[in-house]
Amino acid sequence: MSLVTSKEIFKKAYHGGYAIGAFNVDNLETFQAVISAADRAKSPVIIAITANVRKYFHPVYLKNMIKAATTETDVPIVLHLDHGQTVADCKEVIDDGFTSVMIDGSAHDFETNIAMTKEVVEYAHARGVVVEGELGAIAGMEEDIVVEDQYGQFTHPDDAVEFVKRTGIDSLAIAIGTAHGAFKYRPDQTPLLRFDILEEISSKLPGFPLVLHGSSSVPQDKIDIINKFGGQMADAKGIPEGILTKAAGMTICKINVGSDLRIVFTGAIRKYFSEVPEEFMIRKYLVPARKEVEDFVVDKMTRVFKSANQA
């Protein structure tokens, strides 16, 4: 199967009450693991690539990796630029075959964000590519931020409506309490998403696909493996999986996961080195690490996002 855009799979997810996982891959092994997991689970999948990761892979190698993946499985695959920081970044990957781009203008003022996003939308839509925008502050430690109203630093529903209308985007990443990285909350904080804001945005934008970034669950059993075998991630804490499943059953059609894959991969390698300290053959420790990530992603698709058998 050739690459697809997210338009149709989001439509199915919206009405089917499930979400599509967007998995940030960092190397060949995690890329292979996510593709194999999607094939096993018979789930649509979004391969999320940042500009820096694209450079790390090298665009030519990445293009051929994607080509190989589309010949190995029939599940829908979206190749997505994650957190494109500039209009130029987005245009470059569109011209290079990406089927989806995110233009992240959330660090700019509202009008600048709209102008940047609209320019990308016009360029992308003319070439059959879909666009994700972002509105609100997706960060950690929300309690430390001084706010002036009930929405605070989160996405304001009325702003979301105006943003979608004026830019013509295909999906919107909203800020309702998720955060990037493996240390999303202080040890004394209880992870909480603002489902009231999600419901209000959804009511004002019926049928429109919404996105959650920073949604790694940071599973404690995987953190325990890292710490047991020499790591130092004692205070790592993520989004409980039950919260993600609830969001997937509402209007969240895409859930981004990156840190979890790195945690699983790193833990497997640390464990292998500890148990087989004399080993130096690279594939000997990369193969089991890749398998751990594959199994983890299958579980996410099946049990948490409910996207299995939706391909």
- Amino acid, single-letter form, for residue 154: F
Which segments in the chain show pLDDT lower than 50? 140-150
d(CA 289, CA 271): 10
Tell me whether residue 246 is exposed, middle or buried, using C-beta atoms within 10 angstroms of its C-beta: 0 to 12, 13 to 18, 19 or more: middle
pLDDT at residue number 137: 63
CA distances from 168 to 118, 120, 136, 191 (A): 7, 10, 18, 32
d(CA 136, CA 155): 4
Give the length of the chain.
311
Instruction: Give catalytic status of residue 299 as yes or no.
Output: no
CA distances from 209 to 20, 30, 32, 80, 125 (A): 11, 27, 27, 16, 17
pLDDT at residue number 28: 97
Tell me the whole-structure pTM to 2 decimals: 0.93
List of domains in the chain: 7-304 (3.20.20.70)
pLDDT at residue number 152: 53
d(CA 203, CA 187): 34
d(CA 20, CA 306): 8
pLDDT at residue number 138: 60
Which of 170, 199, 179, 169 has its CA nearest to residue 259? Answer: 179
Q: Where do runs of H (alpha helix) occur along the chain? A: 7-16, 28-41, 51-57, 59-72, 87-95, 110-125, 157-167, 195-204, 220-228, 241-248, 259-275, 282-299
pLDDT at residue number 139: 52
What value, to the nearest 5°, has the Cα angle with vertex 19 and ends 80 and 99? Answer: 20
Cβ–Cβ < 8 Å for 77, 53: no
The single residue of 39, 82, 89, 260 carrying the catalytic annotation is 82
